[in-house]
Chains A and B, each alone.
Chain A
Amino acid sequence: MKNYEFSPLGDSGVIVKLGEVIDQRTHEIVVMFTDFLLENPFPGMLEIVPGFTTITVYYDPIILAQQFPHDLMPYESVLAILDRMFQELTVTCKAEPRLVEIPVCYGGSFGPDLDNVAQQNSLTREEVIAIHSSAEYLVYMIGFAPGFPYLGGMDVRLATPRRSSPRLSIPKGSVGIGGAQTGIYSIETPGGWQIIGRTPLSLFQPTESQPSLLRAGDKVRFRPISEQEYEAGKKVFR
């Protein structure tokens, strides 16, 4: 495997570019490299952050300078280590991705913008719910906020511009549409997306060993539930 490029992210990080466009193939390579490095950390490696087409490797330059006390500067040492690791890597077929079902109570007070999304796209409410909950979404990465998934795969018929004025506070668990993207607000935050529903699931739990419910590489499907199911779910789900 030799299709990657390095560039520095300041003096304590290196960006590994693994593709040019956002697609499933590049995403699979990103996930494979991430998993490989997490299983085979090198001394001084701090953490790995997968992106759409990149992985970023954070390292401690002081530990690397101590590990390799010759002329090589820490950044060059990291490149040499990564090069050696990556050349042995062969792109393999990953095991089946995890499919995570996200129950969503659409409309009403949980989805104040559902009607708006329907109107703007000349659809009925029921059609919006049916289209939104029939697709299978891919989690490209988690970022921006704790547990916030960047999802790919929304039907273009649902694309709706962001609200002209963002709301000051969106409850956690809110499912929204912003332009051609859909996503779930993992924590309470201000935001400008069109809110169509809410899930009783917690996408972020700081006390869990896996604090984020979703991981890059997961598949996601939304399942419509009633208000009663939402309230019951609030008590049962993690």
Chain B
Amino acid sequence: MSIEVVSPGLCTTVQDWGRYGYQRHGVNVGGAMDALAVQMANMLVGNHRDEAVLELTMKGPTLLFQKDMLIAICGGDLSPTINKKTVKSNRAVWVRSGSILQFSHAKKGCRAYLAVAGGWDVPIVMGSRSTNLRAGFGGLAGRMLQAGDRLEHNPQSSFSLYLAKQLEQKAGDEAFSDTDWFIPASHFAQCQESIVRVIRGDQFDDFTAESRQRFFDQAFQVSPQSDRMGYRLTGSTLALTSPLELISAAVTMGTIQVPPDGQPIILMADRQTIGGYPKIGYVATVDLPIIAQLRPGETMRFQEISLQDAQRALYERERTMNEIQLGIKLTVGWR
């Protein structure tokens, strides 16, 4: 008994926090693009924050439940319905066996995350359940979901079972029921303004004064050639004062590199491990979810932040997340 994929959507993959410790073997970290939404979705169903979830991109799948399950949907709004009735995001939802969960095109944001109590059960490869699409391993057989695939979840925590029981009673004869409490949208990546904070990169000073100013003053547009590997931006061209021959070295998620055409690329979850283009900046880790939720054609601006403030913001977010987790436990009344 499990969940069955009726139609797979555009790009639906199993992802968790990513595969750390293997970059020196050339294996990229991968993992979910919006790590914030993943953690929230897991917390809502009583999982560890880094359990495997489904990442749905731009157009979501249709899924048939073959047993009762406790789920949560966070991140972009892909208009989810259960048996044609709207399901709300950012809260725990109990779903009855036989129901159909259907997603549509993204109305807001780009990626939604579907967590299940216990976490999705696919084999752990090199310490992670994330799908590595390019090398074809991890997740479900190293590929996107296809029609007919079945997914099972791992054993649930006692918290999950307790919450599921509450919601099952609340559902009565209905196909599903949700909690009347939720995580406010203000805790997720906000895309309306799309201001992304950036730490200066190693080669920031090697760009012309004009380029440096334009980098922070002007808006950039997300190109259609953007994917899990990197976001290509279009805007005013950024130029070096003189050509640079750099020795290739490690690159990270959020690295903004500028190839010779002068159009920046933000490296994302499926980035390669090594790169050699000049780095004008690094997106602060706390703001990476904003980029993950940007769609092709949307615009964004960069704003400078110090390394110290970027790390402080990350620590503050962690504190908030701990408070939310505690809040969930108190609200559900589990002990």
| B27 / chain A contacts, CB cutoff of 8 Å | 146-147, 206, 211-212
Residue contact B135 to A187, C-beta cutoff 8 Å: yes
Residue contact B282 to A10, C-beta cutoff 8 Å: yes
Residue contact B25 to A212, C-beta cutoff 8 Å: yes
Among B26, B202, B274, contact of A51 (Cβ-Cβ < 8 Å): B274
| B20 / chain A contacts, CB cutoff of 8 Å | 46-47, 58
- Cα distance A61–B317 when bound, in Å? 12
B138 at the A interface (CB under 8 A) = yes
A75 at the B interface (CB under 8 A) = yes
A200 at the B interface (CB under 8 A) = no
Kindly provide the distance from the CB of A152 to the nearest chain B CB, expressed in whole angstroms. Answer: 12
- Cα distance A204–B26 when bound, in Å? 9
Among B272, B308, B312, contact of A143 (Cβ-Cβ < 8 Å): B272
- Cα distance A216–B273 when bound, in Å? 14
Residue contact B282 to A11, C-beta cutoff 8 Å: yes
Q: Indicate whether A49 sits within 8 Å of B24 (C-beta atoms), given known contacts A9-B252, A73-B308, A143-B274.
A: yes
Residue contact A51 to B134, C-beta cutoff 8 Å: no
Q: How large is the interface on B (under 10, 10 to 19, 20 to 34, 35 or more residues)?
A: 35 or more
- Cα distance A73–B313 when bound, in Å? 12
Residue contact A142 to B250, C-beta cutoff 8 Å: no
A237 at the B interface (CB under 8 A) = no
- Cα distance A206–B12 when bound, in Å? 22
| A22 / chain B contacts, CB cutoff of 8 Å | 247
From 72 to 117 in chain B, residues with beta carbon under 8 angstroms from any chain A beta carbon are none
B1 at the A interface (CB under 8 A) = no
Kindly provide the distance from the CB of A151 to the nearest chain B CB, expressed in whole angstroms. Answer: 13
Residue contact A142 to B26, C-beta cutoff 8 Å: yes
Kindly provide the distance from the CB of A230 to the nearest chain B CB, expressed in whole angstroms. Answer: 23
B137 at the A interface (CB under 8 A) = yes
From 153 to 187 in chain A, residues with beta carbon under 8 angstroms from any chain B beta carbon are 186-187
Residue contact A48 to B138, C-beta cutoff 8 Å: no
| B147 / chain A contacts, CB cutoff of 8 Å | none
Among B134, B273, B283, B312, contact of A187 (Cβ-Cβ < 8 Å): B134
Cβ contacts B3-26/A at 8 Å (1 or 0 each):
000000000000000001111111
Residue contact B315 to A62, C-beta cutoff 8 Å: yes
Kindly provide the distance from the CB of B308 to the nearest chain A CB, expressed in whole angstroms. Answer: 5
Lowest 5 CB-CB distances: which A-B pairs, in order? A143-B274, A10-B282, A56-B250, A212-B25, A51-B249
Least CB separation from B24: chain A residue? A49
Among B126, B136, B250, contact of A13 (Cβ-Cβ < 8 Å): B250
Residue contact A49 to B23, C-beta cutoff 8 Å: yes
Residue contact A11 to B24, C-beta cutoff 8 Å: no
| B28 / chain A contacts, CB cutoff of 8 Å | 146
- Cα distance A61–B247 when bound, in Å? 27
| B272 / chain A contacts, CB cutoff of 8 Å | 143-145
Q: Indicate whether A47 sits within 8 Å of B23 (C-beta atoms), given known contacts A10-B285, A61-B315, A65-B311.
A: yes
- Cα distance A52–B311 when bound, in Å? 28
Least CB separation from B123: chain A residue? A207
From 22 to 67 in chain A, residues with beta carbon under 8 angstroms from any chain B beta carbon are 22, 34, 46-54, 56, 58, 61-62, 65
Kindly provide the distance from the CB of B285 to the nearest chain A CB, expressed in whole angstroms. Answer: 5
Kindly provide the distance from the CB of B133 to the nearest chain A CB, expressed in whole angstroms. Answer: 11
Kindly provide the distance from the CB of A26 to the nearest chain B CB, expressed in whole angstroms. Answer: 10
| A147 / chain B contacts, CB cutoff of 8 Å | 25-27
A137 at the B interface (CB under 8 A) = no
Residue contact B274 to A144, C-beta cutoff 8 Å: yes
B255 at the A interface (CB under 8 A) = yes
Q: Indicate whether A11 sits within 8 Å of B199 (C-beta atoms), given known contacts A46-B20, A49-B250, A52-B249.
A: yes
A148 at the B interface (CB under 8 A) = yes
Q: Indicate whether A73 sits within 8 Å of B307 (C-beta atoms), given known contacts A47-B23, A143-B272, A143-B274.
A: yes
- Cα distance A34–B20 when bound, in Å? 16
